[in-house]
Chain A
Amino acid sequence: MTKRRKLLEFVIQGLIRLCGYSAIVFVALIFLFLLQEGLPALSEVPLSSLLGARWYPIQNLFGLLPLLLGSIVVTLGAAVIAIPFGVATAVFIAEVAPRWMREILKPFVEILAGLPSVVLGFLGILVLVPLIRTGFNLPTGLTALTGSILLAAMSLPTIVSVAEDSLDAVPKSYRDGALALGATKWQTIWRVTLPAAKSGVLTAIMLGLGRAIGETMAVMMVTGNAAQMRWDALFYPIRTMTATIAAEMGEVARGTTYYHVLFLIGMILFLISFLVNILASSMLFRAKKRAERMLS
């Protein structure tokens, strides 16, 4: 009896270990594959071309900077819109809105989080694009800004919902304590409730933006996809790295320089998301530690 149990224990542990290790092996394999397909690009294309401002693969011009710029502009734009708006909405729902309104808003926001991104892209083309074109008086509404707004809309539900949960979890006694000291409602939120919920709010932002950064479909639909470098890129069509891969991978012949450069872009994306993840978790870790010391 005990022998059978021991055997069972052994098998189960082995299986769990196998699952864990295989996850690591898969990631390593993917990375190796990326390296194998992407690194040749570095020897095939001169660095000066890769760092150029022109992306014309047909003429063998593989400037990656406009693509990098496109990705950065769209993502930063989304962050600038989504973070203040999302946190403010969470504060409103958790701290300001009367009870009945909270009970309607919360599930509503959570439903929004489940909207497929193609649907959002579709809405973007129908509603947002014409609005941006006429609103800013631009030649086309397919701009980086349009993409940013769409990405922000996509990350907002997650930010609001997760941040609201963490604000809600701040003990009532904190608010009582601050108010009894003569703080106004707003001062209480700003100096006590938000700091106490800081690590949760940061998690919310990371999760929300994380969803947006990897998003390809909706962005491809509304940003125009023209690779160009200009200082006012926000108001003109741009082309992101993800959109480039998605749009062109199907058309290139295997083993060509073009093909290798697309994988190089994939490598760069991989590196960026790796760095962002490390940065995010170390930031979160510190915020949590600090919050623990403050709250304990």
Chain B
Amino acid sequence: MVSAPPAPKFVVENLSVQYPDGTESLRNVSLQIPPNAVTVLFGPAGGGKSTLLRTFNRLNDLVEGTRYLGKVLLDGENILSPKVDLVALRRRVGMVFAQPVPLPMTVRENMTYGLELAGESRRSKLVRSMEEGLRAAALWDEVKDRLDEPAGALSGGQQQRLCLARVLAMQPEVILMDEPTSGLDPISTAKVEDSLQTIKKKYTVVIVPHSVQQAGRLADWAGFFLQGELVEWGEGKNLFIAPKVKRTEDYVTGRFG
């Protein structure tokens, strides 16, 4: 069994995920995601990283007929159970996508929408969360004068940080990021990566990086996925410097994938 610091945020036990067309995207995966750390899921295309991420907030449910086997516990509670309140779960577990998805509203509305959905209507609170979120995502200085412009008018990198800021404003417990910097230039990427270092003090971060280098830079903990299997799991520094499994070593040193 894998080991992690006490009281993991997520415990995944023998998880298998099958899409309706029969693709088994995850096979018998077990791992534990520690709190207040950056966990990196990496590996070649089609390995099931996105699938695992989208299991954590049950976004896979949008694909009609997806089947889960096994358990995923968030603070000890099984989130795969049919009784789980998906809206409440998604408020606790926020997500940033590979493509920035600013909603068709202004910057300000993008920032407050999630909170308003959660029933927050006090203006002062909304304004404060908005500013905090934008600051944490290193975006405040760039957009503070453009809050009432449509979010689509921001640059791609700004849009992506807006999506991160929007999630932060909701103060979730976990933040999932699926290749959040794949469409960004190196400077924006650096900004996002930097903000992760502050963010992880308060939140649990699970991220699928867009390169092995980024995986190495960010990982406190890391898991290597290959065709639906978790090949190796460990602390970031060990896994990238001295992988135990040959297939991990080959991938990390660039011999395949």
Determine if A173 and B104 form an interchain contact, defined as CB atoms under 8 angstroms apart: no
The answer, among A177, A183, A192, for a CB contact under 8 Å with B97, is: A177
Determine if A179 and B59 form an interchain contact, defined as CB atoms under 8 angstroms apart: yes
The answer, among A173, A175, A191, A294, for a CB contact under 8 Å with B152, is: A294
Q: When A180-B95, A181-B117 are in contact, do A174 and B150 touch as well, CB less than 8 Å?
A: no
Q: When A191-B113, A294-B152, A296-B152 are in contact, do A178 and B103 touch as well, CB less than 8 Å?
A: yes
Interface residues in B73-113 by Cβ distance below 8 A to A read 87-88, 90-91, 94-95, 97, 99, 101, 103-105, 113
A191–B110 CA distance with the chains assembled, in angstroms = 11
Q: When A181-B114, A187-B117 are in contact, do A99 and B101 touch as well, CB less than 8 Å?
A: no
Q: Cβ of B150: which chain A residues have Cβ within 8 Å of it?
A: 290, 293-294
A253–B108 CA distance with the chains assembled, in angstroms = 67
Q: Cβ of B59: which chain A residues have Cβ within 8 Å of it?
A: 176, 179-180
Determine if A176 and B101 form an interchain contact, defined as CB atoms under 8 angstroms apart: yes
Q: Cβ of B170: which chain A residues have Cβ within 8 Å of it?
A: 181-182
- The reply to whether the CB of B163 lies closer than 8 angstroms to some CB of chain A is yes
Q: Cβ of A196: which chain B residues have Cβ within 8 Å of it?
A: 104
Q: Cβ of B99: which chain A residues have Cβ within 8 Å of it?
A: 173
A295–B154 CA distance with the chains assembled, in angstroms = 11
Expressed in whole angstroms, the minimum distance between the Cβ of A74 and any Cβ of chain B is 35
Q: Cβ of A99: which chain B residues have Cβ within 8 Å of it?
A: 64
The answer, among B87, B103, B104, B153, for a CB contact under 8 Å with A182, is: B87
- The reply to whether the CB of A280 lies closer than 8 angstroms to some CB of chain B is no
Closest residue to B163 on the A side, CB-wise?
A: A177
- The reply to whether the CB of B62 lies closer than 8 angstroms to some CB of chain A is yes
A290–B149 CA distance with the chains assembled, in angstroms = 11
The answer, among A177, A184, A296, for a CB contact under 8 Å with B103, is: A177
How many of B's residues come within 8 Å of A, CB to CB?
Answer: 28
Dominant SS among interface residues on chain A = helix
Determine if B153 and A296 form an interchain contact, defined as CB atoms under 8 angstroms apart: yes
Name the residue in B87, B163, B166 with the highest tally of chain A Cβ atoms < 10 Å from its Cβ: B87
Determine if B105 and A181 form an interchain contact, defined as CB atoms under 8 angstroms apart: no
Question: Interface readout for A158-192 with B: 1 if CB under 8 Å, 0 if not?
Answer: 00000000000001011111111111100100011
The answer, among B64, B95, B104, B118, for a CB contact under 8 Å with A192, is: B104
Q: Cβ of B41: which chain A residues have Cβ within 8 Å of it?
A: none
Interface residues in B165-221 by Cβ distance below 8 A to A read 166-167, 170
Closest residue to A192 on the B side, CB-wise?
A: B103
Determine if A291 and B104 form an interchain contact, defined as CB atoms under 8 angstroms apart: yes
Q: Cβ of B239: which chain A residues have Cβ within 8 Å of it?
A: none
Q: Cβ of B95: which chain A residues have Cβ within 8 Å of it?
A: 180
Determine if B64 and A98 form an interchain contact, defined as CB atoms under 8 angstroms apart: yes
Name the residue in B88, B97, B117 with the highest tally of chain A Cβ atoms < 10 Å from its Cβ: B117
A98–B63 CA distance with the chains assembled, in angstroms = 11
- The reply to whether the CB of B252 lies closer than 8 angstroms to some CB of chain A is no
- The reply to whether the CB of B51 lies closer than 8 angstroms to some CB of chain A is no
Determine if A191 and B103 form an interchain contact, defined as CB atoms under 8 angstroms apart: yes
- The reply to whether the CB of B57 lies closer than 8 angstroms to some CB of chain A is yes
A195–B97 CA distance with the chains assembled, in angstroms = 21
A192–B113 CA distance with the chains assembled, in angstroms = 11
Expressed in whole angstroms, the minimum distance between the Cβ of B242 and any Cβ of chain A is 36
- The reply to whether the CB of B151 lies closer than 8 angstroms to some CB of chain A is yes
Q: When A99-B64, A175-B62, A296-B152 are in contact, do A182 and B101 touch as well, CB less than 8 Å?
A: no
A99–B64 CA distance with the chains assembled, in angstroms = 9
Closest residue to B92 on the A side, CB-wise?
A: A182
A50–B104 CA distance with the chains assembled, in angstroms = 49
Question: Interface readout for A257-296 with B: 1 if CB under 8 Å, 0 if not?
Answer: 0000000000000000000000000000000001111111
The answer, among B64, B104, B166, for a CB contact under 8 Å with A181, is: B166
Given contacts A171-B101, A173-B97, 5 further A-B contacts (CB under 8 A): A179-B59, A181-B90, A181-B113, A182-B114, A183-B113
Provide 11 A-B residue pairs closer than 8 Å at the C-beta atoms, listed in order of the A residue.
A98-B64, A173-B97, A173-B101, A176-B62, A179-B62, A181-B113, A181-B114, A181-B167, A182-B117, A182-B170, A294-B152
The 8 A-B pairs of least Cβ separation, nearest first, read: A177-B101, A294-B104, A181-B114, A182-B91, A180-B95, A182-B90, A196-B104, A294-B150
| Residues of B that sit less than 8 Å from A by CB | 57, 59, 62, 64, 87-88, 90-91, 94-95, 97, 99, 101, 103-105, 113-114, 117-118, 150-153, 163, 166-167, 170
